[in-house]
Structure 1
Amino acid sequence: MLTKQEFDRAAERYLDMVYRIALNYFRHPQDAEDAAQETMLRLWRTDTDFEGEDHLRHFLVRVTLNVCRDFSRSPWRKHTVPLEGCREPVFSTPERSELYQAVMHLPAKYRLPLYLYYFEGYTVAEVGELLGLNPSTVQTRLARARAKLKQELEE
C-alpha cells in the first residue's frame, strides 16, 4: 500500500502521462479527465507493492487503458453526444497543429499504439503487452498509421 507521500509523488510524476493516454483514447478532454481521475483512485486503493518506477509506470498505463475500455463500454456513453467545441491544444507551429489534427483523426486502434510507441517511448513488445496484441499486430498498426498520416498530410 502506498503512503500519502508516495502517492503524491506518483501522481505528480505520472498524472500527465495518464491524462494524455486517456485523451488519445477518447479524443475529448472531459472523458480523459474522468479516466485519469479514476486511474488515480485505483492507484490510491491498490495494495500492490511496486518493485520500482518501471513497475509503477506500467501499472498506471495498464490501469488507464482498462479504465478507458470500461468507460467506453458504459451504457451511459451510448446516450451522450460528444462536445464538438472542445478546446484544442495550442502548438508552436502550424505544422505541429496539422500533425496533431491528423493523428487525432486516426481510428483508436492506430492512434493508441502510435502514441504509446512514439510519445511514451514503449517498445513494440511493450505496446503489444499493454494493448493485449501480438507484437506483429502492433508493427502492422504502426505501419498503417504512418501510411495513413502520410497520405492525409500529403493531401
Structure 2
Amino acid sequence: MGVCSREEIEAVYRRNFKLVYQVCLVLMKSVSDAEDAAQTVFRRVLERGEVFRDPEHEKAWLIVTARNECRDQLKHWWRRGRADPSALDGLIWEDPREGDVWEQVAALPEKHRLVLFLHYYQGYSTDEIAKMLGENPSTVRSRLVQARKKLKIRLEAEGYGTT
C-alpha cells in the first residue's frame, strides 16, 4: 500500500462522510456527538496515511473505525445519558414513515441497531457485515433475527401492522 495524497484523502472524505456520519448518529443518538465522532474517524484516515486496497476495504475500515470510536466515546462518564433520539430525525429516509420506524430501531441495543442499519439501509449482506465487524456470519444473522423480533413487538405496541 502506498501513501495517501491530500487529494486521495479528500476523495475518501467526499465518498464516505455521509455513511460515517450516519453510522455515528445511529450509535451515538446525538448530532453533535456524531459529528465529533465522524471528524475523529477522518482524522484517523489522515493519521493512517495509507491508500485503501479497494472501495470495500475503505468502507469496511471506516465503518469499523466509526463503531469503535463511538463505543469509546460512549464509555466516558461525561457522555452517559446524553442521547437524544430526536437527533435521528436528520437522517434521510426513502419512505416518510421510516422516520417513525427508526425511532423504534433507535431504542434497540447497539448490536441490533448497527446490523439493521448496515443490512437494510446500506445494503450489506450478513456475510459482508460479519467480515466487516469481525463477527461470525451466524452471529450477525442471529442478531438480525433478534432485532426484527424486538422491532416487531415495539411496532405492534405502537399500532403498526394492525388494521
Aligned pair 1:127/2:129, yes or no?
yes
Rate the CA distance shift 1:48–1:93 in 2: closer, same or farther, 3 A: closer
Alignment coverage as a number of residue pairs: 153
What is the CA distance between 1:75 and its match in structure 2? Answer: 4.1
Which residue of the partner structure matches residue 141 of structure 2? 139
* Contact 1:29/1:86 (8 A) holds in 2: no
Aligned pair 1:69/2:71, yes or no?
yes
What is the CA distance between 1:60 and its match in structure 2? Answer: 0.9
CA RMSD of aligned residues (A): 2.2
Identity of aligned residues (%): 33
Match of 1:47 among 49, 63, 79: 49
Rate the CA distance shift 1:124–1:3 in 2: closer, same or farther, 3 A: same
Structure 1: runs of 5 or more not aligned: none
1:118-150 deviations in Å (ceiling 9; x for gaps) = 112222122223333221111111011111222
The residue identity in structure 1 corresponding to 2:125 is: T
Higher deviation after alignment, 43-52 or 108-117: 43-52
Which residue of the partner structure matches residue 39 of structure 2? 37
Which residue of the partner structure matches residue 82 of structure 2? 82
The residue identity in structure 2 corresponding to 1:37 is: Q
In 2, distance between residues paired with 1:24 and 1:46?
25
Match of 1:106 among 97, 105, 108: 108
Rate the CA distance shift 1:41–1:75 in 2: closer, same or farther, 3 A: same
Which residue of the partner structure matches residue 13 of structure 1? 15
* Contact 1:125/1:135 (8 A) holds in 2: yes
Rate the CA distance shift 1:131–1:53 in 2: closer, same or farther, 3 A: closer
In 2, distance between residues paired with 1:43 and 1:36?
11
In 2, distance between residues paired with 1:50 and 1:96?
33
In 2, distance between residues paired with 1:92 and 1:126?
23
In 2, distance between residues paired with 1:51 and 1:85?
36
Rate the CA distance shift 1:29–1:54 in 2: closer, same or farther, 3 A: same
The residue identity in structure 1 corresponding to 2:59 is: R
1:11-42 deviations in Å (ceiling 9; x for gaps) = 11100100000111111111111110000000
The residue identity in structure 2 corresponding to 1:34 is: D
Structure 2: runs of 5 or more not aligned: 158-163
